[in-house]
Every structure is written in C-alpha cells, then in structure tokens.
Structure 1
Amino acid sequence: MRRQGGKLLPCAVLALCLAALGTGYAYWDGTLRVAGKLATGQLDCAFASEGTYRAELVRDGGEVLAEIPMEARAGEDEKSIALVFPEGMPDDFLGGESYLRISCPIEEKGLKAKEQAADFTVPGEEILLTPEQVYLALPDVAYDWDEPDAYFLEPQRLKAFRSVERLEDALYCCLYLRAEREKPEALMPEFIQVDEESLMSMPLAEQLFPNSGVWVDYSFTSELRIDQQTAVSGKRISVFGALTSYAYWTDRLHVKGSAAFRFPVAVQLLEAGELPADGAVIDDRAFATGSNARKNGKTEDNRKTAVRTGAL
C-alpha cells in the first residue's frame, strides 16, 4: 500500500502541471488582432460663384431701411472675397443706430453647414475701419487731402455679429456690422479752411462724390465662421467617442471690404488771407478730360480757378 501511494502522488502532480500548461496555451492561441483605418468627413464651404451678394441697412428687429449698392469681387481663392461700396455709406451709419447686414451666398462642398441666427445678446467682436485716404470734396471736383486733420485719421470701431441662414433654398452667411456708440475724444471740425495755393497743389481724386465735405475711404477685414451641422439629437457628430472633438469642424471664409464715409464739414477757401463772401472755388482741372486732368494736374496752364456762387 505504501508503494502505490508513493506512485500516485507524483502522477497527480504531473497531471496538474500538464493541465495548467494546456490552459495557458489555449488562452494564448485564442488572441485575435484587428487592424483598420478610420477617416472623418470634411467641412468645406466656399463663396458661391452665382447668387446675390447684398448689403442692407437694418434696424434691431430686422426691418430693412435701405439697400446699399455693393460689388463683390472674387479673391485669391474660393474662400476669400473683396467687397466694394461704390456709393459709400449712409451718413448716419456711424451714429450706431442701425446695422449693416452683408449677405454672401455660400456653397457646401463637403459636410453640411450648421444654420444659426446672429446672437446680439453677446458683446460682439470688434472690427476696425482703417482710414486709407481722405478727400476734400467740392461741387464737381474732389482732391486727395494728403495732410488731413488728425480727426479723420482715427480708425472707426465696429461690432460684428454673424449668422448662417438659408434663404430661398440657398445658404447665406451674414455679417452684421454696427458702429460703437462711444463719445469721441476729439471733436470733428465744423469747417476746413484751405488757401488757394494749397488747394492747387493737391492732386485731383480719381472719383467724384455726390456731396461736398470730407470723405474718408476705410478698409476692413473679417472672417465668416461656419460650423459643421450637428446631429438630430443636438449632439456633435462623433465616431467612437474619443474622436468626438476631432470630427467636429469649423470653416472660415475671409472678407475684405472698402467704403467711403462722408463727414458733413464745410470746406472754405482762403484767398489773400480772407474768406470769400459766399462761394466755392472750382478747379478748372475738373473740366478737362479724365486722363488729361490727371496727367497735367499741376501744370501752370491749369492753375486757374473759377468761382461758383453757392454754399458748400
């Protein structure tokens, strides 16, 4: 009996070891490896080559006060555009009583864009109107004012708000601009006095203006930001949780603009140290042909003036 017990114990230990080895081997052999490649879509918006680009003066509630003539010119690529306002801006825009709404048609070339209204409850983003050129405008003639009063060289500050709206089955990105209602540090001069010699030394402007006074050409730049459309549930589009933020896109379109603003300042001519009783001096260069006037603007033959009766 002792001999049998001595043989069974080593056999039992050996069986247990073989069982353990067999279990481990089966576990290693059951490992599976999966390889895959995951890619997300891309939000790709561009300015539309067709459609109506509009600029409107609107009240707080959205009432359209006036449509402002605007020309849209293609930029260096489909994601940039230049806006020109050939007739300038209304005189009261800088008073901050209304918004300038610029509507640009957008094409969706990738994922769908998210539609969202402008939020006027937030402070808004600041945009600067940078002065580029100052003009002295008289009836039938305008001059490049190279040494203007410092008041007209100060940038104007605007607040910007954005929206993405679908109008008439077309997607529009809208930029709302409003002048800040702040008290200027310097006061606008009531009139500008210029002597005849200084006036004749000024180059003729390349354009005429509908009203006399001081006109300033401003430029501005801004971005139209477009978010990717969210899922029906309101959650961001996601794949496998960890890629939630990566799968959500924001596209940016770049806008450059230029417009002239009028300041109702009287322009008075000084002659021999005195102001004329009631009249505006008109440079006869303005009555020459456009090309000759610019080429010969400072010759002695064109240094004559004529007087027209009437207030500025």
Structure 2
Amino acid sequence: MNQKKAKKSINFIIITIILILFMIPFFVLVINTFKTTAEFTTAPFSLPTSFKLDNYILAIKRMDFFNALKNTAIITVLAVALNTLVATMTGYLFARKQWKLNKIIFMAFLASMVAPFQVYMIPLVKIYGGTFGMSNNLLLVSIIAAGLNIPFAVFLYHGFIKGIPEELDEAARIDGCNFARTYFNIILPLLKPIIITVVVFVALGTWNDYLMSSLFLTKMETRTLAIATQTFLSNHTAEYAPMMAGLLLGIIPVLAFYLIGQKYIIEGVVAGSVKG
C-alpha cells in the first residue's frame, strides 16, 4: 500500500510540474495583456501594476475583431462539416470495399500525410489564386482546409470502422438497406466518438491556421483572427501588448469550445484508441 501511495504521489508531482510548465506561457500571455509594450519588453514576467482594458479595446478596434471572428468561424464550421461528411464516407468505403483500387488510393492517402503543406502551397496559390482568381474567398479556404485534413481523418475513421462488426451491414442489407442507407442509418451514428475526436483536431487546426489563410485572404474584410493579429507588427515597430490581447481574445472561443465539450472529447479519444 505504501508503494502504491508513493507511486501515486510521484505521478501527481510529475503531472503537476508538467502542468505548470505548460501553463507558464499562457500565464505570461495573460499578464502582459494588461501592460504597455515598454513594460512587456523590460519585465515580461512581472505582474502588471494595474488591470486596465486599454489593450483589449485597441485590439478589438484595430483588428476589426468581430468581423475577423465571423470569418474564422465560417471557415472553421464549413471545413469541419465538409471534412466530416467526406472523410466518414471515404473511410467507410475503404473499410468495407476491398477493391484493389481502394487499396491503392488508401495508400496514397497515407503517403500524402507525410508531405507538409509547403509542398502543396505554391500549386494551390497558382491554380486557385492565379488561374481561377479565387483569392479572398472564404468558401475556397474552407474547402482547402477540409481537403488538407481529409487523409488524417480517413485514416482514423477507417481504423474505427474496421472495429465495427460487418454483421451489422449484412443485417441491414437483409432488411433492404442499400450501401448508402446502411452508412447513414447504421454506421454514421456509431461513429459519434471518433467524429468528435476528429472534429476537435480539424477545428483547432483550421481556427489557428495562419499560413494557408494568409495566402488567399489578403483583403481587410476577409481576414481571420490569426491574420488580424499581424496588424500590430510593422517593418519598424511591434506593439506586443495589444497583440497579446488580440491573441487571447482569439483563444477564448476555442478554449470555451474545449471546456464545454471536454467530456465528449475524452470519450472520443478513449473509444478511438480502443477500437482503432
């Protein structure tokens, strides 16, 4: 018993230290939103002398915060919805149809996960931004964001569906369901845990994306939160304090989303690891 208690105590201490190390950057971010840029530069780890909201007011105004929030939300929601629909259907097809072509395409999906976005960056900009002139289009950015996350999502859905007994499909076919109806009525409801897990990954990646969005969204009215924070940087000056306030404002919606859905997120991760 003493060994178990000692082991638990050691684990608790280690986890606490790791938590503190991870929380330090966030703590520094929060306290510096109440300072001036000069105070941040000279003493970034000191506590603020006052808790004024000037930086937040400036960030909301300079970033056109609510417009940027709307653009980011539109892109994220569309990307998540499109990714979920396409990736679940593709994963189901790959898991149930053992065609040679499917195996080749699935291997291509896995191979594409290795390549970083920079490999696709120039062709995407050249084709969609140059040839088709589709820059500053929120729908285009949503489609690209969904597409870039499809290989990883298909990989997870494929593994999860492999753990679902094929007898369910056979029973559905006996009842008169075709392949599509079996997917929507039988398989899709069973994917809830892994869907929540994938949605979190895709949503966080899309919400925080800077590089891909900055390539296509160049106008003020189409900027996302990640791009809008660049407003405080110029060739000669950097307003760090209001920029940190803008960063914190951009984090809050995602943090709230995670705190509200953390129960389902944890269930999804556990179920996905067991069945996948």
Name the TM tier (shorter chain).
Answer: under 0.3
TM-score w.r.t. the length of structure 2 is 0.20
TM-score w.r.t. the length of structure 1 is 0.18
Higher relative contact order (CA 8 A, sep 6+): 2
Structure showing the higher strand proportion among its residues: 1
Larger radius of gyration: 1
